[in-house]
Amino acid sequence: METLIWLIASVKPRSVIEFGANSGRTAKAILRNVQGIERYVGIDVPQGYVTEKLVQRREVPDRPGEHALDDPRFRLLIARHGSHDMAPDDLPAADAVFIDGDHSARGVRRDYALAKAKVRPGGIIIFHDDNGSELVDVSKVLDEFVEGGAEIVHVSGTWLAYEQV
């Protein structure tokens, strides 16, 4: 969490988007520890959603965003299929995007495309679960992005990776 907060704070964000808000614990920590945030948009799926990756099925929150809902800067977007139901125009411009939602290859590609469309120059895109596990597709897809020319950096000793925009 400290590394994630440091990465987000490094771009002095006014606006943050999080794909995969879950219970809102990460949003709450970021909002508490990063100065200057005016807007934080968390995106998730409704209770009962069935994830593509078996390992994520226990992660669908009963009460999405509940820990951050008391912060007026936090806005929760629930979509039937999460970010797969969203277009760039559905999201605000952002200085930082944290991708920790659908860990299928299709989900990581979709969230990255949305992030690339919404992150301002000088901003950052951060990925969670870059851990080499074959249970999720994050590392495999990030490797594909790097092979295609993306400048994504893995943070040693963590499950985080990031790209400066």
Q: CATH topology for 2-164?
A: Rossmann fold (3.40.50)
**Per-residue pLDDT at 83:** 96
> From edge to edge, which strands make up the β-sheet containing 39-44?
74-78, 39-44, 15-19, 94-99, 119-128, 160-164, 153-154
How far apart are alpha carbons 75 and 47 in whole angstroms? 18
Q: Which two tokens stand for residue 75?
A: 């806005």
**Per-residue pLDDT at 33:** 98
Mean pLDDT confidence for 75-91: 97
Residue of 66, 117, 68 whose CA lies nearest to 88: 117
The residues spanned by each domain of the chain are 2-164
Mean pLDDT confidence for 19-34: 98
pLDDT tens, residue by residue, 105-140? 999 999 999 999 999 999 999 999 999 999 999 999
pLDDT category of residue 4 using cuts at 50, 70 and 90: very high
